[in-house]
Amino acid sequence: MRTQRVGIRVGNVELEGVLHLPDTSAIGGVAVLHGFGGHPDQAHIVATCEALASAGVAALRFAYRDHQPPRMTLASGLADAAGAIRVLKAHPDVPERLGVLGFSFGGTVAALVAGRDSRVRAAVLAAAPAQFGNDPKWKPLAELSRTRARVLLVWGSRDSQVPFENAERYAAVLSQARVPNRVVTIEGADHDFAPAGPRAKMTETVAEWIRETLA
């Protein structure tokens, strides 16, 4: 595995990203989105990117423009994620088999991205709220139901921040819309998929599913 520093242009701002590339030819690329108040160097973000690269999938992690509360919004997160997808699409080492993977708030952003961008083939929502904030214009459940991607919903059994009923709400809407989806519970994992054992199970599960979906 090798890494590259890349710039992600969003409006008049350039975000710094880290692209994890496989040692062999990549089968596709995934934008990896962190949570509200999180950052791209968190253990579960880095471990997921490394697992994806080991599975043959390029993975791009980055910090949102306003990644510290309360400035971060769904609107800014969505724009930043779209910028990351553009970088992956344009990268010479990444085939145009694209996915998006989001943790917590990032999972809600991923739902919006997958619903709006028909190029996205794989979407992973990890511990993602089915609703974020009180603005009625944001409808992640409804938007995700229009996706052309396959969807994986991943939750930790010890997640006390975003209840499992959020996964059930996403799954119900997706199944009703006949969008292929799968729900996986990682035993012993908290909201950030700690400790190390459950985290490794999560990264293995996600990387294997994305590889199969993009191949």
User: How does pLDDT run along the chain (215 residues), one tens digit per residue?
Assistant: 899 999 999 989 999 999 999 999 999 999 999 999 899 999 999 999 999 999 999 999 999 987 666 678 899 999 999 999 999 999 999 999 999 999 999 999 999 999 999 999 999 999 999 999 888 899 999 999 999 999 999 999 999 999 999 999 999 999 999 999 999 999 999 999 999 999 999 999 999 999 999 99
Contact 22, 51 (CB under 8 A): no
> What is residue 70's predicted lDDT score, i.e. its pLDDT?
62
Contact 48, 200 (CB under 8 A): no
> What is residue 37's predicted lDDT score, i.e. its pLDDT?
87
What amino acid is encoded at 41 in this protein? D
Q: How far apart are CA 107 and CA 161, in angstroms?
A: 14
pTM of the model: 0.96
> What is residue 63's predicted lDDT score, i.e. its pLDDT?
94
Contact 150, 180 (CB under 8 A): yes
Q: How far apart are CA 175 and CA 180, in angstroms?
A: 7
Contact 150, 118 (CB under 8 A): no
Q: Backbone phi, then psi, for 100, in 5-degree steps? A: -140, 140
> What is residue 68's predicted lDDT score, i.e. its pLDDT?
64
> What is residue 69's predicted lDDT score, i.e. its pLDDT?
62
> What is residue 78's predicted lDDT score, i.e. its pLDDT?
95
Q: Which of 126, 119, 124 is nearest to 95 (CA)?
A: 119
